[in-house]
Structure 1
Amino acid sequence: MDDFRLKVFITAARTLSFTRTAEQLYISQPAVSKHVGELESRYKVQLFARRGSRLELTDAGRTMLEAAERLADDYRRLEYEMSLCASLTEGELRLGASTTVAQYLLPPILARFTARFPGVRVSVLSGNSAEVEQALGEHAVDLGMVESVSRRQGLHYTFFAPDELVLVARTGGKYARTESLTPEQLLSTPLVLRENGSGTLEVISAALAAKGIRLSQLDVVMRLGTTEGIKAFVRNSDALAIVSVTSVVDELRSGALRIVDIEGLTFSRDFSFVHAEAEPARLVRQFIDFARANR
């Protein structure tokens, strides 16, 4: 977007770290502080507050983030539509997508993309986040779409969309009347989880670790390699599962599954594009822009 200060602010608001913002945008940390300070001076508000070692958005910061993200989306659409007027798009695009992305986010985007660009041949390799990153490192795919919180050295990550993981149970089972569980109660709750290497499992592990809970302490009755398998298991048992809210929209609407809150614990993450080059090839960049404009 034209106003680089807004790009800096959006990145800082998502990461809640000026250090990580500087790393992602390839600028210095003082430059991050300068850009944020200029916005605060212009609008006469404080955008961030420190709580000990943690950085938090103020109310003004949250308002700014909502408006800035709308502006960024509009600008991406403008750039993308103008690029369509300039040239034809043809070629081969090899995508790698983690399981949740491949099953729930990517198909409608691909349907629109291939309809818009019939000259592009698209193939998709699906696996967990670690497998997608490995395929990218081995040049088996041109672009990855992952859900992990870790970052593999030598690869470059671009934000795609936010996501939240939720604890779900079947509506007619043992937990049909349970509104919430404490983290301590979660330890004795039967759970079905994803396999090692899954971005979903990585997010769960990190959030639990912040509460002093290890995965090995959980009562894991089953590990499955797909979210669809996990949902089917939960619908036919009294086990609960922690899955992307994106993956259970239909089940929540139909009443087949319900969300059980975990007190004081949230599982937030970002879906990200991952590419081998800091500046990806033209077709890869065009797909990234299209996907972000059409998510």
Structure 2
Amino acid sequence: MRLHHIELIDAILRTGSLTEAAEALHISQPAASKLLANAEIRLGYKLFERIKGRLHPTREADILTPQIARLKQELVSLRTLAHNLKHLQQGHLRVGSTPAVGLGLLPTVIRRVHERQPGITFHLNTHHTSELVAGLQARELDLVVTYDTADRPGIKRIPLGQTELVLVSRSVRQNPIPLSEIPREPFIALEARDPSGIVLHQALDAQNLQLDVITEVQTHYVACAMVEAGCGNTIVDLITARAMLRPGLFLNRLSPPLPVPINAMVHAADPMSAQHTLLLDILKTTCAEQAWQKVMGDPAFGIDA
């Protein structure tokens, strides 16, 4: 079968009508009828039977249906990729980030980029790392910022700096605080597959410690919101903690510090544009400014130190 045969069969499967399938494909009904007949002649068996004025798939068509659906999805992906390549603009950057980075880091970065080059425009997409990587591979994104450290084929990972994990609670405590001295109070945990969650779990395992987890969440800012609501304590990255700090919340550095790397991801085979380079430079500078030593004395954020 040829591609136009597959498109017609898919349209008939969806509509149950040759006329409606022809309309969906923007061809005439006689042309659709001729195309279907040609496909059935090539295959040597019928694909549809007319029952009470509607076309119903034969057993053979039912068997083909899952493969047709898969090919259709691959065709959609191919068209999306082709469109993205055609419309790629050097002055427009499509940036993806995890929610934690999007909340606490990117707003400052975007402002600084615009101060340097006002003509650059952005499309920002916040999602979890697996979805961001898929968007990068489909060229729906030009650059991704994440805490993830995994290597992936065709993707170049660029270190930007690091943040660290901090305790967020509603009580004034010693600063810094060892993991072993965190009070046995209700704890809101990041899920184990989260890069920050992995760092924390490894540190707890190394000291044979356990926290009284009452809730597990996907996103750092949800964990902070639950602390504000009085649900318990949490440990998240400093960038998110600063962005979510409210009156009555206190941040404590951990002892020893638990660093979390911040990385950018780009297409390994693509040359870096001047806009990419500018964005990466400002990301690195802004990440360096997020260190505890830089922000712990800032009264605007009320950090208990």
Displacement of 1:95 in angstroms is 0.6
Alpha-carbon deviations, 1:168-215, whole Å to 9, x = none? 2113xxxx55767765566954211234543322322333343345xx
What is the CA RMSD across the aligned residues, in angstroms?
3.1
Partner of 2:190: 194
CA distance in 2, matches of 1:280, 1:234: 44
Q: Are 2:220 and 1:227 equivalent residues in the alignment?
A: yes
Distance of aligned partners of 1:182 and 1:273 in 2 relative to their CA distance in 1, 3 Å threshold? closer
Distance of aligned partners of 1:178 and 1:225 in 2 relative to their CA distance in 1, 3 Å threshold? same
Q: What TM-score do you get using the length of structure 1 for normalisation?
A: 0.56
Distance of aligned partners of 1:251 and 1:138 in 2 relative to their CA distance in 1, 3 Å threshold? closer
Partner of 2:105: 105
Distance of aligned partners of 1:290 and 1:168 in 2 relative to their CA distance in 1, 3 Å threshold? closer
Alpha-carbon deviations, 1:124-163, whole Å to 9, x = none? 1101233323322332211110112433344221111221
Q: Is the 8 A contact 1:169 1:238 kept in 2?
A: no
Alpha-carbon deviations, 1:196-247, whole Å to 9, x = none? 543322322333343345xxx5432122333332212102225110111222
Gaps of 5+ in 2: 1-88, 288-305
Partner of 1:292: 284
CA distance in 1, matches of 2:104, 2:191: 19
Match of 2:248 among 251, 256, 266: 256
CA distance in 1, matches of 2:90, 2:270: 19
Output aligned runs, 1:1-295, within 5 Å.
90-171=90-171, 176=172, 183=179, 188-195=184-191, 197-212=193-208, 218-249=211-242, 256-260=248-252, 265-277=256-268, 280-282=271-273, 283-293=275-285
Distance of aligned partners of 1:212 and 1:136 in 2 relative to their CA distance in 1, 3 Å threshold? farther
- Asked which structure has the greater CA Rg, the reply is 2
CA distance in 1, matches of 2:102, 2:189: 18
Gaps of 5+ in 1: 1-88
Distance of aligned partners of 1:276 and 1:212 in 2 relative to their CA distance in 1, 3 Å threshold? farther
Q: Is the 8 A contact 1:191 1:240 kept in 2?
A: yes
Partner of 1:7: none
Displacement of 1:255 in angstroms is 5.3
CA distance in 2, matches of 1:284, 1:250: 25
Q: Is the 8 A contact 2:173 2:252 kept in 1?
A: no
Q: Sequence identity of aligned pairs in percent?
A: 23
Q: What TM-score do you get using the length of structure 2 for normalisation?
A: 0.55
Q: Which amino acid aligns with 2:160?
A: F
Q: Which amino acid aligns with 1:292?
A: K
Q: Is the 8 A contact 2:167 2:254 kept in 1?
A: yes
Alpha-carbon deviations, 1:31-78, whole Å to 9, x = none? xxxxxxxxxxxxxxxxxxxxxxxxxxxxxxxxxxxxxxxxxxxxxxxx
Residue aligned with 1:289, SS: helix
Residue aligned with 2:105, SS: helix
Displacement of 1:112 in angstroms is 2.4
Q: Which amino acid aligns with 2:265?
A: V
Partner of 1:11: none
Q: Is the 8 A contact 2:101 2:240 kept in 1?
A: no
Distance of aligned partners of 1:91 and 1:277 in 2 relative to their CA distance in 1, 3 Å threshold? same
Q: Which amino acid aligns with 1:205?
A: H
Kindly tell me the number of residue pairs found equivalent between the two proteins: 198
Residue aligned with 2:204, SS: helix
Q: Which amino acid aligns with 1:243?
A: V
Q: Is the 8 A contact 1:149 1:202 kept in 2?
A: no
